[in-house]
């Protein structure tokens, strides 16, 4: 008796539709999960530091090199800034929340100290200075 080998079944190609679906779902997930942040003020060049903890760009109070304070592109002062926060968050929450100040690197340090003092006098309890990390 003569035995003949059975012809091998041609291998079926795997569909790439499943892979495309997974990649598409991942894209949607990261678009939804990502946080959109407001752009930085164009007139402010942040202070550079070598060692800084990375954090998300804040909804910060920007200070130009001339000492002008800006909130979302609009000129303000320490009292006006705290009033705007109190209207948005409530007075007690506005005092407890950390204020992030993004000061221009060419702003004199004495002027920055005066601005921080004015914010403290207006009722701010926690103030942080935002810097950008540079390569060593």
Over residues 15-70, the pLDDT tens digits come to 788 889 999 999 988 887 776 656 566 666 666 666 656 555 556 788 888 888 88
pLDDT of 50 reads: 64
Structural tokens at position 30: 């990261």
List, as one string, the DSSP characters of 14-71.
PPSHHHHHHHHHHHHHHHHHSPP-PPPPTT--BEEESS----PPP-PEEE-TT--EEE
The whole-number average pLDDT for the span 69-75 is 80
What's the rounded Cα separation, in Å, for the pair 60 and 99? 7
Domains of the chain: 47-133 (3.30.420)
Apex CA 73: angle with CA 68 and CA 77, to 5°? 40
0.75 cut: is pTM over it?
A: no
The whole-number average pLDDT for the span 105-120 is 86
Using 50, 70 and 90 to split pLDDT, how confident is the model at 136? Answer: low
Using 50, 70 and 90 to split pLDDT, how confident is the model at 102? Answer: confident
Higher pLDDT among residues 46 and 74, named by residue: 74
Higher pLDDT among residues 46 and 100, named by residue: 100
29 Cα distance to chain centroid: 19
- Give bridge partners of residue 69 from the DSSP assignment: 63, 76
pLDDT of 22 reads: 92
Higher pLDDT among residues 9 and 52, named by residue: 9
Residue 130 predicted with pLDDT over 60: yes
Residue 127 predicted with pLDDT over 80: yes
The DSSP code for 104 is B
């Amino acid at each position: 008796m003569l035995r003949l080998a059975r012809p091998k079944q041609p291998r079926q190609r795997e569909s790439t539709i499943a892979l495309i679906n997974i990649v598409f779902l991942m894209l949607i997930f990261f678009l939804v999960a990502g946080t959109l942040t407001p752009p930085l003020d164009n007139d402010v060049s942040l202070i550079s530091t070598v060692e800084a903890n990375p954090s998300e760009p804040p909804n910060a109070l920007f200070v130009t090199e001339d000492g002008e304070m800006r909130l979302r592109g609009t000129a303000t002062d320490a009292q006006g800034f705290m009033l705007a926060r109190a209207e948005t968050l409530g007075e007690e929450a506005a005092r407890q929340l950390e204020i992030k100040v993004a000061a221009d690197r060419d702003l004199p340090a004495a002027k920055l100290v005066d601005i921080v003092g004015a914010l403290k006098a207006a009722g701010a309890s926690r103030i942080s200075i935002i810097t950008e990390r540079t390569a060593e």
